[in-house]
Amino acid sequence: MSITKRPATPSAAAVREFISRAPDAASGDEPARVARRKKETISLGIDPVLLARIDARAVELGISRAAAIAVALAQFVDADR
């Protein structure tokens, strides 16, 4: 087994220049800000068995419980359209 040299690490300036050439790179020095809407907080009673199913599905999708419930409600509201 031979010992190989560690590859050279590019400078920070070279990395920034490489990233700036990407087609989706921002044009300014400041990062783009995403406008977020304020969300309402609600209190909701849910059957524990259903909540466990929601939690399991959220884990499968890699999202939070709140996100899973929001997705389900959006699909419910849009179902008749």
More confident call, 75 vs 6:
75
Domain boundaries, the chain: 45-81
> To the nearest whole percent, how much of the chain has pLDDT over 90?
49
Would the pLDDT of 2 be above 90? no
CA distance 75 to 19: 37
Indicate whether 78 pLDDT > 90: yes
Among all chains, which residue has been given the structure tokens 């959006």? 74
Q: Which two tokens stand for residue 58?
A: 């959220």
Chain segment 21-55, per-residue pLDDT in tens: 888 776 666 666 777 888 899 999 999 999 999 99
Alpha helices in 1-81 (DSSP H): 12-20, 48-61, 65-78
Phi, psi of 61 (to 5 degrees): -85, -10
Least confident of 2-6, 8-12, 29-33, 56-60: 29-33
| Averaged pLDDT of the chain | 88
* φ, ψ dihedrals at 45, nearest 5°: -95, 125
Structural tokens at position 13? 């300036």
